[in-house]
Amino acid sequence: MRTLYRNAHVISPGVDIVGGSVLVTDGRISQVTMPSMTLPSADAEINCGGLMLLPGFIDVHAHGRSGVDFTDPDPSAIVTMTRDKRKDGVTSLLVTTLTLSFEELEVCCKNAAAVMNDPEADGARILGMHLEGPYINPTKAGAQNPNFLRNPDFLEVMALNAICPVRKVTFAPELPGAMDFAQRLRGAGIVPSVSHSEADYETMLEALRNGVRDFSHFCNTITPMHHLAFGAVGAGLEIDDFNLELIGDKFHIQPPMLRFIFKVKNIERLQLITDAMRASGLGDGPSVLGGLEVIVKDGIARVASTGAVAGSTLLYNQGLKNLYEVTGLPLKELVKVTSWNQARTLGFSDLGRIEPGYRADFVLMDKNFNVKETWIAKDCPAP
């Protein structure tokens, strides 16, 4: 099956083609044409109406949307969330967990695997699991439930990985056994990522030597940067090898800090995330996160009892719009933080670009970043 997406403003890392066209053959991109070129023949055509055609977004850190959470025991929660994340332009994601008991995490993995392996699933593609906790520091638990905190346990991760592939684990490197844990994760092809941590600058250097290259929701729940104590934030900014997740709601990281990060870090080390909880896509009011009561006011979610920030209510397309307005960067550069960087970090070589050989995962948006259509390539043959 050959499908031609014509009359599109094609935007991909390093690519900006007004009036371009993209030919897709059996779910993979086979040709990208300039407006001056003769259009190839196709079995079907889709007129993009001059709107922006970008690689589908990859959200590697999202907990919920539309009143449901990935860790809800009801299997329909994951179906609802993947379908509604697709409305935001997300074509692939990691099912991100909370700090819960092993039994609850086991159920979440089983539910995710069922959707991941369902050929009829029509929501965002599940790439695997992101375990946020339970191996985090109690002093930096934030909105995570303190009742289930524990030290790093590689065998527990492997037990969950046997149910559904674990792609990423967020943990605190200062906990007992954490450095060996990081090495073993890296050896198993799982991304070790730091957050909810009291690690200082020196500990982050040790973590780097033990295979850590990533920060989850950078700046949040880690030690800040100070001229007398450089902290984990300082390490993330100074050391080129660190990849940084950024919540793009302009609240978790204020605009001046976002601009500073984009100035000092290679853009290929930055990843836009939502860290969205179940209130995402809904209005203000009461909600729940990991068994904790949450209040959303003016779009900001906080734990009712402590006032701690409880994830975000951000939609992915809005996050890209925020970064575009804050940084002023051209979209052909900024688009790297929405999919290409995530794909490379996770080891997926055929996602995140509009180029021949890549999966035809697209999001079509107007100039105000409103999502008009999202396409997800299913069951593509190898390139």
Count of all residues that appear for the chain in the document: 383
Do residues 247 and 253 touch, judged by C-beta distance below 8 A? yes
Phi, then psi, of 102 in degrees rounded to 5: -60, -40
The letter for the amino acid at 208 is: L
Name residue 246's amino acid: L
Q: Which of these, 323, 325, 380, 375, lies nearest to 357 by C-alpha position? A: 380
Q: Compute the chain's Rg from CA coordinates.
A: 20
| Residue of 59, 69, 72, 275 marked catalytic | 275
How far apart (Å, rounded) are the C-alpha atoms in residues 215 and 2? Answer: 40
* Pure H helices in 218-346: 231-238, 255-264, 316-327, 331-334, 340-346
Q: What is the 3-state secondary structure (H, E, C) of 94-140?
A: EEECCCCCHHHHHHHHHHHHHHHCCCCCCCCEEEEEEEECCCCCHHH
Q: Are 154 and 184 in contact, with CB atoms under 8 Å apart?
A: yes
The reply to whether 240 belongs to the active site is: no
Residue 125's closest CA among 40, 57, 206? 57
**In which residue are the tokens 């890392």 written?**
13
Residues known to be catalytic: 275
